[in-house]
Amino acid sequence: MTDVVAPATDQRIESDEAIIRSHQRGVWRFLRWLGADPALADDLVQEAFLLLLQRPPADRSEPAVAAWLRTTAANLFRSSGRRARCGVPIHDGDLLDAVWQQNAGNDGGDGYQEALALCLQSLPERTRQALDLRYRHGLAEAALAGALGLRAGGVKTLLRRAREQLAQCIRAKTR
């Protein structure tokens, strides 16, 4: 009797692993977009997939599973007590999902990430350095101004222009 059950169990495990591989990165990026720090995003991704395995949605198509995971992740994030930074009310799941789909598409954000990498390379070296120091290394504006030899107002202007250029470039590359 074990031989009869084992193949079905093996197929389910393979199917679950495929779903996790297919959606894990996109759910993590979605949580980061909402404002979760990397460690919290890791934890919430795990929780979302555990819930998926315990109570899978009736529709197991790729888009339906992706939407279910994003909704579940957003609910888990909201329950964690953290604040969303994406600018979209986290309690409006349909709007949240629509904005994510508009920005990240159906590939879990892969196309957006590729466009971002290309657009970053098109910026002048000093601008890339400023973005790296500010957003990757978390330097405050005063420290950033000192590192770049600028005044605080110059740093604000440089970062604002860089964000605008990146947004424009990414929009052009992802259309």
Task: Report domain extents, the chain.
Answer: 2-106, 110-173
Residue 41 is predicted with a pLDDT of 92
Q: Is-above-0.75 flag for pTM?
A: no
Separation of alpha carbons 30 and 13, rounded Å: 25
**Rounded to whole angstroms, what are the CA distances from 118 to 18, 51, 66, 150, 174?**
29, 36, 26, 26, 11
For residue 2, the model assigns a pLDDT of: 46
* Cα–chain center distance at 39: 13
pLDDT of residue 167: 86
Long-range contacts at 54-59 (CB < 8 A, ≥ 24 apart)? none
Q: What class is the 2-106 domain?
A: mainly alpha
Q: How far is CA 154 from CA 93, 144, 148, in A?
A: 38, 10, 10
Length of the chain: 175
Q: Residue type at 70?
A: R
What is the assigned CATH class of domain 110-173? mainly alpha
**Alpha helical stretches, state H, the chain:** 2-34, 38-54, 62-79, 93-104, 110-122, 125-131, 141-148, 152-173
pLDDT at 4: 45
Taking Cα atoms as reference points, which of 112, 113, 116, 87 lies closest to residue 101?
112
Q: What is the pLDDT along the chain (175 residues), one digit of tens a residue?
A: 444 444 555 555 567 788 888 899 989 988 888 888 889 999 999 999 999 989 888 887 888 898 899 989 988 998 887 655 555 556 666 666 766 666 666 666 777 788 888 989 999 999 999 988 888 888 888 898 999 998 888 999 999 999 899 888 888 887 7
75, two tokens: 């609910």
